[in-house]
Structure 1
Amino acid sequence: MNLWHGTINVKEKWNDKVISLLRKVSIFRRLNLAFMLLLITATVFLTFFSFYKYYFEIKKNTNQYISVLAQNVSMKIEDILQEYEEIALTFYDDPKIITALKENRMLRNDKRAASQELYEKNSSSIESKLYGIKSAQKYIVNIQFVSPEQQYYMTEPNGYRRGGSIRDLDEFYKSDFYKVPQEKKGYPVWFDTSKQTATFYKNEQSIYGLANIMTLCVGIYSPINREFLGVLVLNIDLNAFSDALEGYGYYESGNTFLIGEEGVVMWFNPSISAPSFPKDDELFKSMQQQGKGVIQKEIGGSQVVLAYDAIDNTKIFAAHIVDMEVLLKGTYQTRNLCIAVLLGTVIACLIISYYVTKSISDPIGGLVNIMQKAGNGKWEERYHNSGNDEIAILGDKFNEMADKTNQLIEQVYISEIRRQEILLNWKNAKLDALLMQINPHFLYNTLDIIRWEAMYEANGESTVTQMIEKFSQLCRMGMRAGGKTITLKEGIEHAQIYLDVINFRHNDKILLKKDIRIDTEAIYIPQFMLQPIMENAVIHAFGDASKGYEIEISAIIQEDVLLIQVEDNGKGMTQDEKQQLEAVIDQPTSGEDSIGLGNVNRRIRLFYGDDYGIKINSQCGEGTNIQIELPVRRQSEDMEKVWGGATKNGI
């Protein structure tokens, strides 16, 4: 445990020492250092990014290069094949040889001595020609001519037979070596199949057939009548191709192959570390369909690139295969080095950035903490400087400000408290007076006594007592409601009773219509809100209350706003009269007419805020529409308490 605490203390001392040193440098220099490090990091990132772009460019160029390599190998092999095809041409382009072949075909079964002598002479010419062709080319292992009747061998001038032999002539006639050249009508055909070993032998005594060869077969025809004379067969040593490609440019990490139907025919510049060509029939079929191309695939767990190109007039492909992992090994080493450098740079940047930032953030955090305490009233707190940078200057200025603020608080604190208390009392008194203006308590008691005296004098109910009863109900509703909001239903009843009282003095009654689309018992409104508006209509809109006047009260809810409209069909107002009335009801203080529209508007705004109140729409001769906007309230509220609380909070 002590060791742990000791480690923490050493770390804290080290951190404090580094931060203290950094604090001796200005913020400008610190930030410059941070930006420099960011720049270095960005440079390293761009270097890394460029490396990967280079990597993919190398990969792309590799594909192109090995594709060109396979194509060039293919062209070189085609040149070699063409060279041997031209050698074959020297045989069947010789008129003497063609004549000898035709004569021997006719003389074979002629037993006459002269015929047999000519037959032997022609055979010697043909076989000498074959030997002459072979002696001029060291890679021709065997050259023969097979007619429908017999086979001709290579023979030296002294009569000694050289070259190979076809042991089973009947099987040869059935094979592709004999049939395909006839189908090609004289065009050269190359074979690379394993059937060569079972067909061609070095001599009659050999146990094993010729190996590591490619066979060229050409159908020979009479130039005059296109009579089929036989097939010229050349067995070519595969070293003819490897020697021709010796020193040819190639990837040391790859292998170049000649690929036939049965797999690899020949391997150029062999490298054991490089990948071998897979035994894959589907791959060869795809190569046959495409003719040439570059394939990336996984072989033996390694990602390889295979470029191939078909050799004309054969079923053979030149292919080069490269292991990308081996090829790009150096590139990966460069990448790993870049990663290591990048990680080191990032770690260094993080360490430096940590201390630089901490040297700025800690002092600022301490200053912010002191400011927050001062904002909460603890002006005795002071900032303790520990550096020589701009934050230290800011801390000194804050301390000076705090000292001056303390002095100012001592001077104005008591007087400000007194002013606030006076303002609070004034607002409360103002609201109390506003409520007193509409308090009917004293009237209710007096009217109740008068009504009973009138009933005594009239021995029962009369018009006077009914008037007093209605007016008493009007007063009683005010007593019952007190300072709380009332239901919309009660407010409408209050307005109805008021109109009943007014109608006592008119022969033609003022009609009250109602268009209420909400539940009036579930919505609450301030008391004495509708009656002053109806009173304003009776006094100013109807005048002497002539026949046909009416008032309509409607109420709806739109988006949590209660809209109440009180509309009359009175004389209406001019625009000047309307503007004067709006100016009166918008006054923040009450006057002689405060129990009218202005009183209602002020109470609504005091209770609910300035977003609500009264709006007036009127046209001269068309009546007046008073619209009241209130928030929807579904329970009763004590207006006096809300006013008092709002006033105190406002102070």
Structure 2
Amino acid sequence: MSNINFHSLDYLVEKMRKIGISKRLMVVFSAVILIPMLIIGFFSIQNLSNQNMIRATDSARNGLRNLDADISEQIKVFNDISYRLYLNEELKQLLQECEKINQKNTWTFSDEKQYAENKKKIGDILLSAQKQNPNILNIEIVNDQDEFVGSSSQEFPSAHISDLEQFRASEPYLQAKQSGSLPFWVNTVRQHNIFQLDRGNAYLGQHITHLRAINDQEGNTLGVIVINVSLDVFSALSHSSDVNVSEYHAVLLGDNDVVSYLGSNRNSNLLQLSQTEAKKLLAETQTPSSHVFHGQQYLVTTISCETTDWTLASILLKEEVQKDLYTLTVTLILIAATCLLLSFTMSYLVTISITRPVQRLCTAMKNIEINSDTAGYSDASKDEVGLLGQDFNRMLKRNQELIHRVYTMELEKKEETLLRKQAELDALQMQINPHFLYNTLDIIRWQIIDEEQQDSRASTMLVHFSDLLKLSTRRSQSLVPLSEEIDHIKAYLRVVEFDLDYTIDLQIFLSENALICTLPKLTLQPLVENALIHAFSGCTEHAVLQIMAKETQHDLYIIVRNNGKKIKTDDLEQINQKLQSREREEHHIGLMNVHDRIRLRFGEQYGLRLSQDKDGATEVIIHIPYTPQGEE
């Protein structure tokens, strides 16, 4: 993965170098300036937009609450009028008498007269209630048998329901009968053909309707009070908003339609909502919400009315709410354009400060290519190009020195070749001396055999010593396979066993792969000798010496273990510390010598380390790199 990243980076760098430095710097300066500005601008705009929305929503919601309080106060007036009619015992008595007469199959003249008088009295009571508020267009009582309208006058003309059967079957009438004495309101703004004036064929329009059932003492419905209220009742109401916008609207919604437009801004055009748009607003569960009306986007905030099932909505033109946002956006664009201009200017100046010194340096290089004695680069500046020029001058000076020294070096090489040949001759000469020594030892062995007429202990010892001497003085490379070191150990033990009071059991656990691994010559012999001197001194029992190896992917760990005297833990730690610090002492010269030779050959991470196994046996661990013979 890292290689892929490096290759991608190199590829990108090569592509960028195909573009001029000035263009690269313009891109970098522009990115450094624009990216933070765009990020800051984006979050600033988002934050300002959210703040504007929150402020507009809070202000609209407060205004709607005040408006709802005014509406509740107006509604309460008509609720009180219907409630007083509900409590009017005379009215209830008259309605009960009319109901009894209606229950008769045949009316007498007296019944008809009584019914007409009662109906007129009911009309007078209703007319008296209607006079209490000028916004009442009509007031009447409807039951399943008849319709009782208010007495008509020039100032207060009465009206009647054009289709009583349809009205009695309507949901508002049935709901009023079932709700006991609780009042409720119905949006009848768009219903222009229900309540017909007694004079002419005109109908009541632009009104809302209040309904309340009137019951007797047993709870039986005597009729439903119907009050038609003009929308002018809301004309005096105003929607106050703290948001500084030129267009906002307050709308009273109910029964899936608009009830009334309340206190719209005088400077704005009256927003007309269709019935479909009104249903959509009433179905909206989230507030505030965003809606599009007549091609413009509005911020809508709604609350439920306290005294009715209707909804109050504040509709603000979103463009006006966010006008500060547009000002901020324009400001950020102007700042960005100014910064871009500055970045181009700075990139041009920086480009000149880099390219001109580089061009002078290139010219100096070309001149030296033609004439090596030409003066170098001259620049007093201490920037990177100036330092590069100084390095170039130093390189020129060193080049001259190297040219003058080249002849001397050639002579030294020739002399070194002669010395190497002489060393090879000396090595050949040295090989003759051990050969003479082998012949001499062999002559002594045969002389002893002749005198004693058999192989004695001395002659056998001379044989083993001769073998050991041959292995030690054999001409070979500085690195030998582990198998050769094992042969050397076996020969060494055969010689030293002549002078020991105990036998040594040499146990070798080595794989074929381990035996072909190379290591410095005479690595194991000093360790075995060290064990004989220190671990097995004074030993009279069976001594065990084990040599084993542990292979890893790249390294080999050779373990030389003995069952001799146990080393104290503190002494073991002290020896390991001395090995690491290379502190010399006369008691551990063999260990130090092997450790240093391994480190000099393979590196500081390799060498010797002493430890103890679980039984307390001392282990010398040799750590070397795994290098098979022939791959040194």
TM-score by length of 1: 0.67
Question: Which deviations, in whole Å up to 9, do the C-alpha atoms of 1:596-636 show, x marking residues without a partner?
Answer: 66654554343223444456799xxxx99683523132412
- 2:186 corresponds in structure 1 to 191
1:347 aligned to 2:343?
no
Distance in 2 (alpha carbons) for counterparts of 1:571 and 1:341 = 86
Distance 1:501 1:411, change over 3 A: same
Q: 1:316 Cα shift?
A: 1.8
Match of 1:81, SS state, is: helix
Distance in 2 (alpha carbons) for counterparts of 1:497 and 1:421 = 43
Alignment counterpart, residue 150 of structure 2, candidates 154, 159, 167: 154
- 1:245 corresponds in structure 2 to 237
Alignment counterpart, residue 77 of structure 2, candidates 65, 83, 94: 83
**Aligned positions of 1:115-154 closer than 5 A:** 119-134=115-130, 137-147=133-143, 149-154=145-150
Alignment counterpart, residue 181 of structure 1, candidates 156, 176, 181: 176
Q: Is the 8 A contact 2:185 2:208 kept in 1?
A: yes
Distance in 2 (alpha carbons) for counterparts of 1:266 and 1:272 = 12
- 1:513 corresponds in structure 2 to 506
Alignment counterpart, residue 209 of structure 2, candidates 204, 215, 226: 215
Q: 1:423 Cα shift?
A: 11
Match of 2:180, SS state, is: coil
Distance in 1 (alpha carbons) for counterparts of 2:238 and 2:91 = 36
Q: 1:445 Cα shift?
A: 4.6
Comparing 627-636 with 186-195, which one deviates more in the overlay? 186-195
Distance in 1 (alpha carbons) for counterparts of 2:374 and 2:435 = 56
Q: Is the 8 A contact 2:608 2:623 kept in 1?
A: no
- 2:64 corresponds in structure 1 to 70
Q: 1:214 Cα shift?
A: 1.5
Distance 1:503 1:432, change over 3 A: farther
Q: 1:172 Cα shift?
A: 3.8
Q: Given residue 65 of structure 2, which amino acid in structure 1 is its aligned partner?
A: Q
Distance in 2 (alpha carbons) for counterparts of 1:279 and 1:428 = 109
- 2:600 corresponds in structure 1 to 606
**Aligned positions of 1:557-576 closer than 5 A:** 557=550, 560-565=555-560, 567=562, 569=564
Match of 1:233, SS state, is: strand
For structure 2, the residue ranges without an aligned partner over 5 or more in a row are 1-18, 367-371
Distance in 2 (alpha carbons) for counterparts of 1:490 and 1:398 = 54
Q: Is the 8 A contact 1:439 1:478 kept in 2?
A: no
Distance 1:64 1:597, change over 3 A: closer
Distance in 2 (alpha carbons) for counterparts of 1:132 and 1:616 = 121
- 1:318 corresponds in structure 2 to 312
Q: Is the 8 A contact 2:192 2:203 kept in 1?
A: yes
Q: Given residue 630 of structure 1, which amino acid in structure 2 is its aligned partner?
A: H
Distance 1:464 1:48, change over 3 A: closer
Match of 2:181, SS state, is: coil
Identity %: 21
**Aligned positions of 1:108-507 closer than 5 A:** 119-134=115-130, 137-147=133-143, 149-156=145-152, 162-192=157-187, 199-203=194-198, 206=201, 210-221=204-215, 228-241=221-234, 243-245=235-237, 249=241, 253-268=247-262, 269=264, 271=269, 278=276, 284=282, 294-296=287-289, 305-322=299-316, 324=318, 326-328=319-321, 330-358=323-351, 382-385=376-379, 440-448=434-442, 463=457, 465-478=459-472, 482-504=476-498
Comparing 65-74 with 112-121, which one deviates more in the overlay? 112-121
Distance in 2 (alpha carbons) for counterparts of 1:616 and 1:175 = 106
Q: Is the 8 A contact 1:518 1:557 kept in 2?
A: no
Q: Given residue 146 of structure 1, which amino acid in structure 2 is its aligned partner?
A: V
Q: Given residue 525 of structure 1, which amino acid in structure 2 is its aligned partner?
A: L
Q: 1:594 Cα shift?
A: 13
Q: 1:56 Cα shift?
A: 1.4
Q: Is the 8 A contact 2:188 2:209 kept in 1?
A: no
Q: 1:58 Cα shift?
A: 0.6
Q: Is the 8 A contact 1:153 1:161 kept in 2?
A: no
Match of 1:503, SS state, is: helix
Q: 1:165 Cα shift?
A: 1.4
Q: Is the 8 A contact 2:33 2:339 kept in 1?
A: no
Distance in 1 (alpha carbons) for counterparts of 2:603 and 2:443 = 41
Q: Given residue 471 of structure 2, which amino acid in structure 1 is its aligned partner?
A: M
Distance 1:426 1:229, change over 3 A: farther
Q: 1:57 Cα shift?
A: 0.6
Question: Which deviations, in whole Å up to 9, do the C-alpha atoms of 1:537-578 show, x marking residues without a partner?
Answer: 6578778x8744736143333763524326474899998xx9
Q: Given residue 75 of structure 2, which amino acid in structure 1 is its aligned partner?
A: L
- 2:47 corresponds in structure 1 to 53
Distance in 1 (alpha carbons) for counterparts of 2:435 and 2:274 = 114
Q: Is the 8 A contact 1:255 1:271 kept in 2?
A: no
**Aligned positions of 1:545-624 closer than 5 A:** 547-548=540-541, 550=543, 552-557=545-550, 560-565=555-560, 567=562, 569=564, 600-614=594-608
- 1:25 corresponds in structure 2 to none
Q: Is the 8 A contact 1:503 1:510 kept in 2?
A: yes
Match of 2:302, SS state, is: strand
Distance in 1 (alpha carbons) for counterparts of 2:567 and 2:136 = 127
Distance in 2 (alpha carbons) for counterparts of 1:381 and 1:567 = 73
Match of 1:320, SS state, is: strand
Distance in 2 (alpha carbons) for counterparts of 1:416 and 1:594 = 43
Q: Is the 8 A contact 1:254 1:275 kept in 2?
A: no
Distance in 2 (alpha carbons) for counterparts of 1:200 and 1:515 = 122
Q: Is the 8 A contact 2:188 2:207 kept in 1?
A: no
Q: Given residue 264 of structure 1, which amino acid in structure 2 is its aligned partner?
A: V
Q: Given residue 623 of structure 2, which amino acid in structure 1 is its aligned partner?
A: L
Distance in 2 (alpha carbons) for counterparts of 1:175 and 1:518 = 106
